Chain A
Amino acid sequence: MGNLIFLERAILESLSSGAKSTKEISQDLNFSLPMVKGILFNMAKKNMVKFMGEKYALNREIVTHCIDEWNHPDSLSWEAREILDGIVENSPMNFPSNSFLKLRKMYFSDRDLTIFKSQLTNLEKFLESLPAKPGMCEKTCDKTIFFWGMTNYNTVLRSILIR
């Protein structure tokens, strides 16, 4: 089935809350109708979605069968790249805004690292407590993507230099 592009993931996510017409998907994702039709046409060819009357629904058999492939680290790293590309291209670096990216470079002492990890655990617990599925009036396109991570110069330099 191959890797999913983010547009396809978004459609799958939109349909995960129930069957929708192309117009409903278009509104849910804020995509143009022709684009939704194009993506759905392609997904229908691969049997990922079924056309039922006037609405499209997930083909759960195929989705269950492919879920491991779509969540493969390689596939997820492409999703992360697409998200990072999107935010780097379109976001101001300043907070507050609904979309921003911040980078900070610093030295951690052992003590600082311990404090940071405990703060991070709290943050992760808070994020896990938030709903991943949309509420009744919420659209998929309004879902927030939050990402975090850290690395060091050594890792980045090695990834640039050793290929």
Chain B
Amino acid sequence: MLSSQRIINDFKYEFGNLTYREIAALTGIQMTRVFRIFNYQEMKVSEYERFKNLLLQKKSGTARLLELFNQYALFLSPCFVRKLEKQIEREIKIVNLIQEGEK
């Protein structure tokens, strides 16, 4: 699936029953354009970013983290990124252990 179609599917899932007019107001994209995007026309990068940011906002805490990564990943030192990667892996391991116990 194309990433633009995937993000539209995610958007439909997260935002439910919004009308094209409401989506246009929310994204700042013209309503006719929203209609076309929702009918499988390719998105521009700027449109993709708007949908993605709205989805990220919906996902709150994690959204901020991802947003920071998106903006600053290239500026972070490789050493710091490795440490963070390991830290996140350990956190995931703990979450998995707890989930396994709850099964």
Residues of A within 8 A of B (CB): 3, 5, 7, 32-39, 41-42, 78, 82, 163
Contact = CB atoms under 8 A, between A and B. Distances in A.
Contacts of B86: 78
Given A7-B94, A78-B86, A78-B90, A36 B101 contact: yes
A35 B77 contact: no
Tell me the dominant secondary structure on chain A's binding face: helix
A33 B98 CA distance: 10
A5 B100 contact: no
Contacts of A35: 97-98, 101
Given A5-B90, A5-B93, A34 B79 contact: no
B77 A163 contact: yes
A106 B17 CA distance: 62
18 contacts: A7-B94, A7-B97, A34-B98, A35-B97, A35-B98, A35-B101, A37-B101, A38-B96, A38-B98, A38-B99, A38-B100, A38-B101, A39-B97, A41-B100, A42-B100, A163-B77, A163-B78, A163-B80
